[in-house]
Structure 1
Amino acid sequence: GATVIVDNVFATPVFSRAVELGSDVVIYSATKHIDGGGRALAGVICGSRDYIRKTVEPYVKHTGGAISPFHSWIMLNGL
């Protein structure tokens, strides 16, 4: 009944497909690989719609943990 959460920063989604191996949630640092220059702080949480809606969304709504439009633009340029 435990939730399996995998930090997939070092393996990257290219080499490790954690969801296919049975994890419930995958977190990923967008700062390291997508931006690459350390100009913006961002991360990605991947999981089922149910998990995101019930667990992550209330936390983000109450703490304001959302990326700004400018930092989103930086990430898009890094892609």
Structure 2
Amino acid sequence: MCRNIRTLHNFEPPATADEVDAAALQYVRKIAGSSKPSQANAEAFDRAVAAVAEATRELLAGLTTTAPPKDRDAEAAKARARAELRYAR
């Protein structure tokens, strides 16, 4: 999975539209193999991003869990701690 795509399910507050759109963009970029499509492919690229974002919203709306929601700040702190350990020299 692309490192820039983050888990969006079971957070409090829930994922924003911007977060869903950013994840969809990263996914399509990864699949397409480019960060910016050519003019000839821009329309297909944009349609794909919109379709993935819509599918992501539907998925998030349909998922259920019994686990308590995760705290965004706590999860970010854990990620920073893991990164410090990984990149410490």
Whichever structure has more helix as a proportion of its residues is 2
Whichever structure has more strand as a proportion of its residues is 1
Q: TM (normalized to structure 1)?
A: 0.32
Higher relative contact order (CA 8 A, sep 6+): 2
Based on CA coordinates, which of the two structures has the bigger radius of gyration? 2
